[in-house]
Structure formats: C-alpha cells, structure tokens
Amino acid sequence: MTRIKTTSESKPMIEESPNEKIKKPRKQRIDKGKTLLTDRDEIGLTFVGEQYAVRLDQLAKLFKMDEYKDSEQAVRKIVDRWRKKEIVVLERMSPTGVGWVYLTPEGLKDRALPYKAWTPKSGRMRHLFYINETRLLLEKNGGLKNAIWVSERKLLSQQEDRAKRPPKHLPDAEIHQDDEKVIAVEVEISPKEKPRLQRFIMALAKSYDEIWYYVPSTVKPFVVRAYNGLSPTMKDKVKILDLPDMPTAPKH
C-alpha cells in the first residue's frame, strides 16, 4: 500500500509499503521480431551458399526428409522462413520445374560467406544439379567422414584473392582428406572430345594427388577412352566413378 505524507513545508512525499515492489519495465529482446535460425537452418544455408544453389528435393536429401510422404511441403516451410528473413530466393527455372534456392547478398553476409552475389543461369543448372548430387552421395556413404568438401565457389573466391597468379582450370570441387591428400572432383555429364578431356586431366594432375571423375553411364565411355590414352603415371592418379543415373533429365 502506498501512503502520501505531508512534510512541514506541505510538500507531499510518497511513502512505499515495505511489501510493495516497484515493477521495472522489462527489457526488450534484441532478437524480437527476427526469425531465429536452428542448427539445421545453419547447415542448410551454408550448404546452399557453398554450392551456389540447391534444388528443393536436394535440400530434402540433405535434411534426410526425402523419404517423408510430405517432404516437399516440409522443406518448403523451412525455405519460407528463410525467405521471410530475406536471406534466400526460391526460383523456378521453368513453369513446371522444381524450385531452386540460393542466397541473397544479405544471406551471404549472414552466413559470413565471402562470395559475390550470384543468380541462376539456365545453362548451368543441370551440371550444378549433378555436382550437388555427388556431394550428397559422398556425405551419405561416408565419403566425407574424415574429409572436407571445398566447393568450386570457394575455390574461385580463393583464386580471385590471388589475382596475381595465372588462372588455372578449376575442378568442380576439392576433397581435403585428413592425411593431407587433396583430390580434385570432376562431374562430367556431357561427352567431350578425347584431346580436350586429356588436357583437363593433365592440367589437374599437376596440382592434385588424385582426380575423381563422377560420370553417368551415358558419358562413361568417353571418359574411359580419354583415360586409356594417358601414361601409366597419369592413370594412377585418375579414378572413374559411377554417378547414379537419374530416371529422366532433371527439370529445372
């Protein structure tokens, strides 16, 4: 209970009851109104940023939701939260295609990724799809358990930082193993002439301990033909690995 006392100078004074507490205004949380990120969000956003862009069905694989009956809806809810935060864009490359997710400049900043802003180009998406599939395949079968995947985007960023160095052919990714072995990863999804493919292999062989070529069955004969023309020393560095064939060409 609060009582008002009057002093000799007739100035009112407020006297508080010992049992009465003054309620202080509650501090406002600094993250109020913001979309908070979970550990899964952070893994997904970093994966997307490193790979340029990722399709919704591939995000489902990353989150181990691909076997859910409503996997597309579940992943879309996650992406919608990211869109609300304005850190990603969800874009279809064709009216009937599956949506692709990529980071906005704000998203790259949020993830502390030192990459230039990027927007999808239809001519690149099929290749990008299979590169993502290769990384997901390696993560699923334990191929990256004691290793680190370094994406082409990161390699390009590092090369730009060394502007004085002459440019070199970049692989689609590098795998850094814990024994300090560095492997070049190439995902070859279209036939190339033998001399051209051999030039790529020889250029990579100068910088890497091994070169892993992931190829679908339709392209494998072309890579094998180029491989057969290499020297024995060069052959020791190259592995030709099967990339699971998709039932149909992925629709963007």
Is pLDDT above 70 for 234? yes
What is the model's pLDDT at position 248?
47
Q: Which H helix or E strand runs over 134?
A: helix 122-140
What pLDDT, in 10s, does the model give residues 170-198?
899 999 998 889 999 999 999 999 999 99
Backbone phi, psi, residue 175, to 5°: -115, 120
Q: How many CB atoms within 10 Å of residue 247?
A: 5
Q: Do 219 and 126 form a contact (C-beta atoms < 8 A)?
A: no
The band of 71, judged by pLDDT with boundaries at 50, 70 and 90, is confident
Average pLDDT of every residue of the chain: 85
Is pLDDT above 60 for 74? yes
What is the model's pLDDT at position 34?
52
Residue 149 to residue 214: CA distance in whole angstroms: 15
Q: Sign of the C-alpha dihedral, residues 104, 105, 110, 112?
A: positive
Q: Where in the chain is the domain with CATH 1.10.10.10?
A: 37-120
Q: Do 76 and 56 form a contact (C-beta atoms < 8 A)?
A: yes
Nearest to 2 by CA among 14, 10, 24: 14
* Buried b or exposed e, range 206-215, using 16+ CB within 10 angstroms: eebebbbbbb
Nearest to 51 by CA among 150, 169, 159: 150
Kindly list the distances between the CA atom of residue 160 and the CA atoms of 49, 52, 151, 204, 250, in Å, as whole numbers in the listed order.
17, 17, 14, 18, 31
The contacts of residue 46 (CB under 8 Å, 6+ apart) are 111, 113
Q: Which H helix or E strand runs over 201?
A: helix 194-205
Average pLDDT over residues 48-65: 95
Beta strands 182-187 and 210-215 are: parallel
- Single pTM value for the model: 0.81
What pLDDT, in 10s, does the model give residues 87-107?
999 999 887 788 999 999 999
Query: Could you tell me which CATH class the domain 37-120 is placed in?
Result: mainly alpha
Q: Do 205 and 186 form a contact (C-beta atoms < 8 A)?
A: no
Average pLDDT over residues 61-69: 85
